[in-house]
Structures are given as structure tokens and as C-alpha cells.
Chains A and B, each alone.
Chain A
Amino acid sequence: MEEKWKQHFKDKLSGYRLEEVPLSWDDVGTAVAQTSRRKRVVAGLWSVAGIAAAVAAALWYVGSLRPSPAPAEPSLAVREETVPDAVPVVPLEVCPVPSERVPGAVHLKADPVPLLTDSVREGPSLLEDPVADADFPAAGKPTLADPGSAVPSDEDGRELFPVLQEAPAIRKPRLALLAYGSVPGSASSTQSAAGPVLSAASIYGDGGRMKRSGMLRMDENGRVETEEHHQQPVRFGLLFRYALTDRIGVGTGLTYSVCRSTFSSTYGTFRSETQQTLHFVGMPLRVDCRLLGTGPFRLYASAGGLAEKMVKGTVSMKPLQFSVNGAVGLDYALSRPVHLFFEPGCSYYFDNGSSVQTLHTQRPLSFQLDVGLRFQL
């Protein structure tokens, strides 16, 4: 008995054919060509992204291999002071710094000056003030010379202490790691629409796409009201930045974002509400340029692109999601290696052909505020 009604329905509708197909052959041909072209573009964009990521990784690797110049060994003055023969040569044992401890050291001929021998024998750092003022004779109190300035000498013009010939080269860090998150604003998009359940009311065919020989409605109205509410996506990211110059840097990394939406529809006595949550993983590429800098503050501008792939969600979105963005940021140095930055900016999301509705399909141009920390590596 139960199967009888099923068979009747099958007999009625399994071979049903539309009288008027809502699609022309030209539409199909165009769609097939577009699909093939889109696949080629996506493949090309992935190739570019892969090449850019490989270049950034190679630059980072090369940068990490470059040996940081070791602090210059304090090279002692290698010149022999010409002193009058009457001045005795200081024997080695009273030389303040043993020669074998300091490469390239040359014994400076000087008058024997009593020094703090204990600290001397331990090998004082030449960057430190080697002796206290009180240990010097009143005359000819030496000072440690700044590199490039005159060599300290006693009243007779003879060098007393070795000086640094070169300041140790300070290696500017070229690589930085940025960790940031987007501040979720209260901005969201809500859209309402109302429409008939069936699009025409003619009994004997409406001249539209489908022939109808009768219509029934579930209630008096027969209208469907829909509402969409999209929340601002929440995004986190890690970015490796390589400084090409003092002002300009390039970066790439990974982002993770979550898009939440609510869809409500009411038709007759039925109401349905759907929660949609989509998780994306993305790869950004960006260039930034320092505009101004004063004290611990830096003002900069950045621009770039982002390719995202949905990895988990309540619905399926197969195509990649591409966007471009621009921002102006403020960087504050909390300490030497750690900076705090605020980066307000805007993004434009391109239509990827998916039928899934998100905030980006409602509003392709959106604004966001990224806040994060930059770690100099």
C-alpha cells in the first residue's frame, strides 16, 4: 500500500520535462568558457603566490645565513710612538694589558705608571673605564677616547692606553615576525527580502519560464520573507617581514579567519533560522613602506593581497577567496625587539563565483583594524 503512492509519484514526475527551459545554449557555452578561464586564472594566481612565498622564504634564509659581523676586536694602536731615547721602554710585565690577550696589540711605550694591577691582570674590558681617576697621577689623566677622536696621551703626547679604532658594527635586524588580530567591530550587514513562493499567479500559464496549470499556496500570503545578518569576520595572522631597505619591507605568512552569518526565512507558518560559520586559512602578501619616524613611533603604509581557502564550515565553498588591501599603520617600540602596532585599513573582496553568502558578498569593500606585536629577529 505504502509503495503504491510512491510508484504513482514516480510515474507522474520521473520523466517530467520542462516545456520551456530557462537556459539557452549560448548561456551554457559562455559558462563553460568562463569556467575554463577561471581555472586558468586561479592556477596562475597560485603560481604567483607560490613564487612570491618561495622568494620571501629564500630571502629570509639568505638573510639568516649572513654572518653578523662580530664586534670589532679592539685593535690597539699599532703605531709605535717615537719617544725620546731617554724614556725607558716599559717592560712587558708592567704593561697594563698582556699582549697575548689582545690580538694585534702592540706595546705602547710609556712611562711606568702604577695601575690597579689586580684588575689589569684579569684583563679589563677595554670598553669599560679601565682605571679610576684616583689611580692616575695628577698630571696626564687619561680618558678613553671615542673612536675617531684623538688618542689619549699624557702630557708628553705619548699614548697611554689602547683605543678602539673601530666601533663594533651593529647589525640591523632585517627579519621580523608580526603577530596580529583584527578587532571585530560592531559592523555587520543585514538584508531583508520578501518575495512570493511562486513567482506568478496565472492559472493557465504565465508566459514565463515554466508552464503551470494550477497553483496552491500553503497560506493566505504565500510570501517568503528572508533576512541575512553577517558579523564582521575575526582574523588572526602571523607574518614574516623582510626588510629590503631601511624603509621598505615585504612579507608573507598565514592568516586564519572566521565568518559568522545568520539566515532567517519565514513562509506561512514555517520559520527557519540557519547559523553559518566558515573557517578560512589564507596566505597574505604585502609590501610596506615607512613614511615617518620620530622617537619610538613610526608611521607606515602597507598594501597587498590575500588568498583564502575555506577549510571548515557549515556549508561548502570550493573556490578560493581573493582580496586586496591597503592600510596605514602606527608602530610603537615597546622595547628594542618588540613593537606594538595599530593598522587601520580597508580590503576589497573579489567575487569568487560561489553562491555562499557572506559579509564579503554583501559588502565587497570593508574596513578593519589590525592590532599586533612585531618581534625583530
Chain B
Amino acid sequence: MRLLAPDVERELIDRIRRGDDSAMRSLYERLSPWLGGICARYLSGDESVRDVLQEVFVKIFTRFDRFTYRGAGSLQAWAGRIAVNESLMFLKERHREKTVSLDLDLGGAEEDEGPEVEDIPEDVVLEMVRQLPDRYRTVFNLYVFEDLSHKEIASLLHIKEDTSASDLHRARKLLCRMIDRYRTIGPM
């Protein structure tokens, strides 16, 4: 989804490089809801989302000299990359889980099934993702939205490739369970 028209994007880039505050504000107003959505996918707490989103914009505006225009949409892609990296760094700084999960009974959906979310509102889907344990959620986001392989995820998070695959499997199982409950019980 492109949030900046090509001509608007070029104009904003030129003005920000000249130190135009109004251009910075305009970029903030156009991208902050989408960047906030990215942070919300990675982070479970509202305060965490706010802190990371602030850090994302600080990085964007203090390191704008490092941005290189590579065509239409490159500014949005660059900002989105910063949001993902800052979210990952925040999670890494907060903790690295050593032991996880006392409840291992996640039976239910088959390996190739779902989770199917076509009929579920996007807000609900987002909340389900946010309820996943941090590492499952991180692996899920990197696999689904960043299109990383398990090998790449393992290298990024300093985990084993098998662990990445196992975490994704568990995340999918948990989401299936949540979706089943939602369809059965409805929103609480």
C-alpha cells in the first residue's frame, strides 16, 4: 500500500534535506499510522508501541542524510525497515526468553491448515497476533510480513533454524485456537 504519491515523496525528501520542519511534520502525519501499525504487530504493550514509534521517527529525522532515493516508494520502504528494526531491537533489549511454555498441548489444526482470517476484522486479527508470546510473534511477523526464511530468521534472532520453524508452528497453532474461540464465542 503506497502512502506517498511519487511527486509528493520527491518534494518531501528535498524539503526535509533542506531542514524544512513543515515537511517533517507532513511526513510524520502521513506515515505515523502505518508505522504505528507495524510496531503494534511486533509489540504487545501500548507504551512499548509509543516508545518505539518515537524512536523510529527520531532515527528517521536524525539520520535522513543516510537515506538514498531509489525510486517511488523507497522512502516509505526505508521508514518501514526502520520501524521493524527498532521493534526487534526493543524486543532484544527487553529480554531473551530462556524457558517458555508450560502448556504444550496445542493439538487441533493440522499442519497444512490455516489460520484462516478472511472473515475476521483486521483489528481482531491484530489483537490475536499481539497476544502471542514475544518470540513466537517475532518469528511469525518476520516469516509472514518480511518474507524471511527460517534460516534468515535464525541468523537474525540468534536461534536455531529448527527453533524458528517450531516457533512458527506454535504461533500458527495458537492463532488457530484463538480464531476457533472467536468464531465460537465471539468477541468478549
* Interface residues of A, Cβ cutoff 8 Å to B: 1-2, 5-6, 8-10, 12-19, 21-23, 25, 27-29, 31-32, 35-36, 197-199, 201, 203, 208-218, 263, 265, 267-276, 314-317, 354-356
Please tell me if the beta carbons of B92 and A23 are within 8 angstroms of each other in the complex: no
Please tell me if the beta carbons of A13 and B122 are within 8 angstroms of each other in the complex: yes
Please tell me if the beta carbons of B36 and A17 are within 8 angstroms of each other in the complex: yes
Q: List residues 61-84 of chain B with CB under 8 A from any CB of chain A.
A: 61-62
When C-beta atoms are compared, the residue in chain A nearest to B134 turns out to be A272
Please tell me if the beta carbons of B122 and A16 are within 8 angstroms of each other in the complex: yes
In the bound complex, how far is the Cα of B94 from the Cα of A233, in angstroms? 19
Please tell me if the beta carbons of B188 and A23 are within 8 angstroms of each other in the complex: no
Q: Assuming the A-B contacts A13-B126, A23-B32, are A18 and B37 also in contact, with contact meaning beta carbons closer than 8 angstroms in the complex? A: yes
In the bound complex, how far is the Cα of B49 from the Cα of A199, in angstroms? 13
In the bound complex, how far is the Cα of B43 from the Cα of A198, in angstroms? 12
When C-beta atoms are compared, the residue in chain A nearest to B45 turns out to be A199
In the bound complex, how far is the Cα of B63 from the Cα of A36, in angstroms? 11
When C-beta atoms are compared, the residue in chain B nearest to A19 turns out to be B33
Main SS at interface, chain B? helix
**Chain B residues bordering chain A, tally (CB within 8 A):** 70
Q: Assuming the A-B contacts A22-B50, A31-B57, A270-B102, are A215 and B187 also in contact, with contact meaning beta carbons closer than 8 angstroms in the complex? A: yes
In the bound complex, how far is the Cα of B97 from the Cα of A315, in angstroms? 12
In the bound complex, how far is the Cα of B76 from the Cα of A339, in angstroms? 64
* Interface residues of B, Cβ cutoff 8 Å to A: 1, 21, 25, 28-29, 32-34, 36-37, 40-41, 44-46, 49-51, 53-55, 57-58, 61-62, 89-90, 92-103, 112-118, 120-131, 133, 143-145, 172, 174, 178, 181-182, 186-188
Pairs A–B under 8 Å by Cβ, sample size 25: A5-B113, A5-B172, A8-B117, A9-B145, A13-B145, A16-B126, A21-B32, A28-B57, A31-B58, A209-B46, A213-B121, A215-B187, A215-B188, A216-B181, A216-B182, A216-B187, A217-B131, A268-B103, A270-B102, A271-B101, A271-B102, A272-B99, A273-B97, A275-B98, A315-B92
Please tell me if the beta carbons of B50 and A263 are within 8 angstroms of each other in the complex: no
